[in-house]
Structure 1
Amino acid sequence: MKTKERVIPTEYLIPFILITSCFALWGFANDITNPMVEAFSRIFNMGVGGGTWVQVVFYGGYGAMAFPAAFFIRRYSYKSGILMGLGLYATGALMFIPASFIGLYYPFLIAYFVMTCGLSFLETSANPYILFMGPDSTATRRLNFAQAFNPMGSITGMFVAKTFIQARLDPRGAEERALLSPDQFEAIKANDLHILSSPYIAIGGVIIVMFFIILFAKMPRHEHSDHRLNFFGAVKNLLKVKRYWEGVVAQLFYVGAQIMCWTFIVQYGQRIFMEQYGMTAGAGAQEAQMYNIVAMAIFLVSRFICTFLLKYISPGRLLLALSLGGIALSFGTIFFQDIHGLYCLVGISACMSLMFPTIYGIALRGMGEDAKFGAAGLIMSIVGGTFLPKLQAFIIDMETVFSMPAVNVSFVMPLVCFVIIGIYGYRTYTVHFRYE
């Protein structure tokens, strides 16, 4: 559907730029953290399942804080929600300083949880704020455009993870570290934790600067004059809208698919590079992370292409088409056991590029004031990034399933997610917006 209305009205341009920059900042946090599953597993000599506690607390913070964030935004403003998010983000990042000195796993998990409570505030505030910065008819395109800058932060996070963390960690794998004396193991662990913590501490400083820029910037207000928190009334209204609660379900599985594909690409590629190219665990992880960066670059380019296509193709139809692409490439990822499987896994990112903001825009379209609580439900669905990767890690730790590498078989999990997303895309243009 083509429209002549401006996607970003002139009066909202500066606020739009400032809020869009926050999309890149939480993209950085998400994608510097995904490779840390492998890093923590190696540093503390744990299995993949142990390392995925990073994902559990990281995405658990989103679920825990989404509705409190919605109450806060309803009581105050979107700007206040953004500032609270940036404050918690910076606090969690700076908590890596004491965590690295303590040298235990759990202080890092606490730091991640605090940081992602901040990210929950940011996403609960920024996404609906962008939707309201212009005509309702261009809201989905506007959010897709803003979300297109999220992968820029993600690519930066992946690059930092590869260059400043993975490349500098001790390259020894679990078996080699098990042979070290306790003193040697502790010395290597302490050095690795210091290396891992440094980029988080640096981004904490960047977030503080961003906090003060937005604090003193003039931002538009989209607040209702009545600040009474009619939570149950809002939830009742939302549950009457099938496209909303179906969108929450679709978003939960999308986030799970995204996290699984971008986290376990390291283990997937690491197996190939170790078994077929004779690399060490550390070198294999670095090489796999390079493919992850390529996947994110493809994701970024595809996001801009799909945003353009939304001028001519309905969101539901495009969502279904990309879901079918994700399903086909997931089959390739599962059944190819060489580099071609890795190529398929990289290609999945092109199919995922449109999904999050499009599901978000479809679910919240025309919600008005209920969008504040509706946004919270959609952000809370990010908890899909907690239990779904945990299930995939359980499969990976089996090592072999049906005479196939378990890491290959584990990608049946994202495949199921894309089926569910495809169903939502189909229902969007056949049921929810049938005549558009």
Structure 2
Amino acid sequence: MKHNRQSILSKDGISYLIPFILITSCFALWGFANDITNPMVKAFSKIFRMSATDGALVQVAFYGGYFAMAFPAAIFIRKYSYKAGILLGLGLYAFGAFLFFPSKLTGEYYPFLIAYFILTCGLSFLETSCNPYILSMGTEETATRRLNLAQSFNPMGSLLGMYVAMNFIQAKLNPMSSIDRSQLCESEFQAIKESDLSVLIAPYLAIGGLILIMLILIRLVKMPKKGEENHYIDFFPTLKRIFAQARYREGVIAQFFYVGVQIMCWTFIIQYGTHIFMTQGMDEKSAEILSQQYNIIAMVIFCISRFICTFILRYLSAGKLLMILAVSGALFTLGTILFHNIYGLYCLVATSACMSLMFPTIYGIALKGLGDDAKFGAAGLIMAILGGSVLPPLQASIIDLKEIGTFPAVNISFILPFICFLVIVSYGYRTVKKEW
């Protein structure tokens, strides 16, 4: 066990500590982007007087960028290097963030969607580059543990994103409720919209500046090029080869449903909590801010659980721990559906403890043994982030129904996350049984 601890960031006498620290910081940067965005579904819905379904187009644009750019990113990385992919990713991230300013000047919703799409094209380059790069920074035996350690810093960025969303966006938006906004005359509505959009874009402009600093820093530091000698792009034969492996193929499916469940649970905790608190007599804005505090608690739990689970991986196989956590997540989701009070919200918060390990573990299991094909394998797993684009609008359309029979529609909508957890249970079970 001592040897494993020493070798997690080195191989053949070469230490990867400095590159590991720099690349791991990128995990926090895309965590920030992900989780400042989830509360924006509700914010944009209010600012532009839209339904939850229209507001969820933010997630469609956001995760659509991941999907569209994953394989072009893999081809770019194969032709050049992981470092080149990371630099281009940071550049697109900053450019998308800066586009929030001209988007605000238009006063329209759709330019923001374009800005999100470009920003996440950058995130797609980052994730397609950084995840397999971390896997390569040491021995294959320690690869999943190493990726889990790097991914542990992702929720720290997420926490900062949530904190900024709550304190620098949600708390500063005009407190007028959605119902009151709908009754405003056009000139009053435009004045409030203009003020709210100015509040909303400020953090994005700030993070754009930080990303540029990070880009310059990584550009100046010498990075290892281990395993990057092959620049031959054998695209379709490589895809055929990796998708022929059941462990990889089913890993992509499991990742699609994992990202879907994560985004649904973190996005619609705002709607879920707001519904509960408003039935207790709270006004809409106070209910939203309190719900976002529960979202932050969920992320703190996620962050702590990631470190705990990374430690447990030394004693339990990745597949077994994945299966246990997915079963627990399914049970908590049932509680979210069946309880119509604060206990349902507690159950929803608890799902974050179960989700903490899933992305890097599915990733590590799926890419195991792919060797140089891991660059394209990584792209398939990043494309699976499309689950965050496809599933939240489906849940939003259920929430918009308000009630289904005697049940609040927001409760019933969590049947989708429940199904997602069952798919992940199956992948963990098949891994434990070594069915591939």
**TM-score, structure 2 normalization:** 0.98
Query: Distance between the aligned counterparts of 2:252 and 2:193, measured in 1?
Result: 40
What letter matches 2:432 in structure 1?
A: Y
Q: CA deviation at 1:274?
A: 1.0
Structure 2 equivalent of residue 110 of structure 1:
114
Structure 1 unaligned runs (5+)?
Answer: none
Query: Residues 54-133 of structure 1: matches in 2 within 5 Å?
Result: 54-133=58-137
Change in Cα spacing, 1:3 to 1:311, as seen in structure 2 (3 Å) is farther
Partner SS for 2:176: coil
Letter of the 2:7 counterpart: R
Tell me which amino acid in the other structure corresponds to 1:266. Answer: I
Q: Which of 286, 290, 299 in structure 2 is aligned with 1:287?
A: 290
Aligned to 2:7: 6
Counterpart selection for 1:265 from 249, 269, 278: 269
| Cα drift, residue 171 of structure 1 | 1.5
- CA–CA separation in structure 2 for the residues paired with 1:70 and 1:401: 44
TM superposition shift of 1:2: 9.0
1:200 maps to 2:201 = no
Paired residue secondary structure (1:134)? coil
CA offset at residue 8 of structure 1?
Answer: 1.2
1:302 corresponding residue in structure 2: 305
The amino acid that maps onto 1:57 is A
Q: Determine the structure 1 residue equivalent to 2:30.
A: 26
From 36, 41, 54, give the equivalent of 2:40: 36
The code of the aligned residue for 2:379 comes to: A
Task: Map 1:144-159; keep pairs closer than 5 Å.
Answer: 144-159=148-163
* Corresponding letter in the other structure for 1:374: G
Please list, as runs of the form range in 1=range in 2, the aligned pairs for 1:223-234 lying within 5 A after superposition.
223-234=227-238
Kindly indicate whether the alpha-carbon contact (under 8 Å) linking 1:2 and 1:311 is maintained by their aligned counterparts in 2: no
Match of 1:387 among 377, 386, 390: 390
Whole-Å Cα distance in 2 between the matches of residues 141 and 294 of structure 1?
Answer: 25
Q: Structure 1 residues 3 and 359, CA, compared in 2 at 3 Å: closer, same or farther?
A: farther
Residues 86 and 119, structure 1, Cα contact 8 Å, conserved in 2:
yes
Q: Percent identity?
A: 61
Output the CA distance in 1 between the equivalents of 2:3 and 2:152.
Answer: 20
Farther off after superposition, 28-37 or 176-185:
176-185
CA distance in 1: counterparts of 2:273 and 2:3, whole angstroms? 43
Question: How much has 1:402 moved relative to structure 2?
Answer: 2.9
Match of 1:423 in 2: 426
Cα root mean square deviation, aligned:
1.1
Deviation of 1:226 (Å): 3.3
Q: CA deviation at 1:6?
A: 1.7
Q: Secondary structure at the match of 2:315?
A: coil
Q: State the Cα deviation string for residues 331-384 of structure 1 (Å, max 9, x = none).
A: 000010001100000000000000000000000011111000000000000000
Aligned partner of 1:359 among 350, 359, 362: 362
Partner of 2:224: 220
Quick one: distance in 1 between partners of 2:214 and 2:46? 33
Between 297-306 and 222-231, the greater mean CA deviation after superposition: 222-231
- What is residue 381 of structure 2 aligned with on the other side? 378
Q: Which runs of 4+ in 1 moved over 2 A?
A: 1-5, 222-226
SS, match of residue 270 in structure 2: helix
Number of equivalences:
432
1:223 deviates by 4.2
TM-score normalised to structure 1 length: 0.98
